[in-house]
Amino acid sequence: MNGAEAIASTLVDAGVSTCFANPGTSEMHFVAALDAVPAMRGVLCLFEGAATGAADGYGRMTGHPAGALLHLGPGLANGLANLHNARRAHTPLLAIVGDHATYHKRLDAPLESDIEALAGSVSGWVRRSSRSVDAPADAAEAVAAALRPPGQVVSLILPADVTWTAGSEPAAPKAVKAPALVPDEVISRVAGVLHGGEPAVILLGGHGLRHCALDSASRISVATGARLIAETFPARHERGAGVPAVERLAYLVEFASSQLAGARHLILAGADSPVSFFAYPGKPGTPVPDDCQVHVLAEPGDDVAVALAALADAVASGTAPSPQQPARPGLPDGELTAQSAAEVIGALLPEGAIVCDEANTSGIFLPGATAGAPPHDWLSLTGGAIGQGLPLATGAAIACPDRPVLVLEADGSAMYTASALWTHAREELDITTVIFSNRSYAILTMELERTGAPATGATARSLLDLSRPDIDFTALAAGMGVPASRATTAAELAGQLQKAIAEPGPHLIEAVIPPLR
């Protein structure tokens, strides 16, 4: 085998069977190897950010890394923003970055750049393979590193000659580290805090937002009165009817502060201690009250579910969880607004849906409107780098081909990685995309005021406005093979969404709504 074939075969043996790819000349042997190793599914993405975002969606839904095949430094650079989101999500993800042949690098050919510097900015593990015979072992180690709890982005750099040199053999998978068990003393200490009876909040994140962990958290809450709050942007939150409901910590620090007001203890279960997304003149950097003590029950890389179960047994034995009851809003009529759109989605969300939420300002009514919908997964924008929703859906749909995927996508964010729609069509993925077409960077209009920036002039406004021309998302989608329609009333959205959900394959609905004020 040549290096590429042995690497591909190693990856498949280690459970990496999907590779989202945007290749170039230095990756040609890896591309060719996919025919020699048919168990590896290659998925073409037309921009690297669409490939890395897809690998993130796949990793969030399977708990296993997909590959993202990228072309040298520039290809990796194009994929960085969604690798950043994956890093924040603790997603296991393997970036495979092709490079010039080892002996060609000294010539400083045009595509030469500092790949390690770029990879290091988002990766917990970076390795450059230098010999074809060693590369498969590097690949096996890369997979194990990606799976190191709680999961991380890793980058494997493959010089072209390493992939084309013959005489390589696949390597066996490496042992994967298990999540760390939280020591009994920590459980007892936190149980002591809860028994103290002072107001407490349990902040849930990571695996703390899966159904079984939420059941334990709910038992604790029912027995002790501790309030449950979810981190602001969870990578994957299992919610809906039958699952204990948890409100999310607000994005705006003033609102987050009022959610935490009065808490004397903040107990972290798979979440980091919260901070304000940005600094604003005169506003606090964290919503945690000054007189509130922060306790770590479980770090993101610990076994959060087991820790919560042990804590529940300590403080809530015999107490049952309190699941969310089924409840859906009625289908609204009349104007299409952020509120009525949320009601339509709450009324129609199919059971088992995977929701990729990048609705931004248009999404504020969605959590309430969908809380009692049939059980579903909610994937959010973990790292604040917009352009994630459409690619995330690609990966989620490939990871879970039997589940409907719904992308709730703001118009400005959609444009960063709109080419993901082409992959939705090419792979015939069951993805329904709703574009919230408010024709503005609405959140930035709000942020302009909050930061105290003096600008309200025409130039400043024009930088936050997406009209002149209006973007025709139906034409854009149709041009990439995704059937599309436009809704301008609540009833139109309902009709179009019903149809899109009922039909297999990708669909896009442009929901024209006014920006939130």
Ligand X SMILES: Cc1ncc(C[n+]2csc(CCOP(=O)(O)OP(=O)(O)O)c2C)c(N)n1
- Give the strands of the sheet with 293-298, arranged side by side: 247-248, 227-230, 200-204, 265-269, 293-298
Question: Is position 411 an interface residue for Mg ion (rule: CB under 5 A)?
Answer: yes
* Count helices and strands in the chain by DSSP H and E runs: 20, 18
Exactly one of 152, 216, 394, 413 binds ligand X (CB under 6 A); that residue is 413
Residue 441: CB minimum distance to ligand X, A: 4
Q: Which stretch binds ligand X (CB under 6 A): 14-22, 266-274, 284-292, 439-447?
A: 439-447
3-class DSSP string for 480-507? CCCCEEEECEHHHHHHHHHHHHHCCCCE
Toward ligand X, which CB reaches closer, 186 or 420? 420
Residues 316, 222: contact at Cβ < 8 Å?
yes
Toward Mg ion, which CB reaches closer, 161 or 411? 411
Q: In whole angstroms, what is the distance from residue 325 CA to residue 228 CA?
A: 17
Tell me which residue of 424, 508, 439 sits closest to 471, measured CA to CA.
439
Residue 384: which of ligand X, Mg ion, none does it interact with, CB under 5 to 8 A by kind?
ligand X
Fill in the per-residue mask, 420 to 449: x = in contact with Mg ion (CB under 5 A), - = not in contact: ------------------x-----------
Residue 487: CB minimum distance to Mg ion, A: 16
Residues 422, 446: contact at Cβ < 8 Å?
no
Residue 413: which of Mg ion, ligand X, none does it interact with, CB under 5 to 8 A by kind?
ligand X
Question: Is position 81 an interface residue for ligand X (rule: CB under 6 A)?
Answer: yes
Exactly one of 408, 412, 435, 509 binds ligand X (CB under 6 A); that residue is 412
Question: Is position 361 an interface residue for ligand X (rule: CB under 6 A)?
Answer: yes
Q: Which stretch binds ligand X (CB under 6 A): 177-185, 248-256, 273-281, 355-363?
A: 355-363
DSSP H helices, 400-462, are 411-414, 420-426, 442-450, 458-462
Toward ligand X, which CB reaches closer, 330 or 452? 452
The continuous run of DSSP H or E covering 22 comes out as: none
Tokens of 220: 């604790």
Residue 345: CB minimum distance to Mg ion, A: 17
- Give the strands of the sheet with 93-99, arranged side by side: 41-44, 18-21, 67-71, 93-99, 153-159, 125-128
Question: Is position 412 an interface residue for Mg ion (rule: CB under 5 A)?
Answer: yes
Question: Is position 52 an interface residue for Mg ion (rule: CB under 5 A)?
Answer: no
Exactly one of 16, 443, 487, 511 binds ligand X (CB under 6 A); that residue is 443
Toward ligand X, which CB reaches closer, 340 or 440? 440
Question: Is position 410 an interface residue for Mg ion (rule: CB under 5 A)?
Answer: yes
Residue whose beta carbon is closest to ligand X? 412
- Give the strands of the sheet with 484-487, arranged side by side: 237-239, 376-380, 354-358, 405-410, 431-437, 507-512, 484-487
Q: In whole angstroms, what is the distance from residue 305 CA to residue 123 CA?
A: 26
Residue 360: CB minimum distance to Mg ion, A: 7
Q: In whole angstroms, what is the distance from residue 315 CA to residue 216 CA?
A: 11
Give the interface with Mg ion as residue ranges (CB under 5 A): 410-412, 438
Give the interface with ligand X as residue ranges (CB under 6 A): 81, 360-362, 384-387, 410-413, 438, 440-444
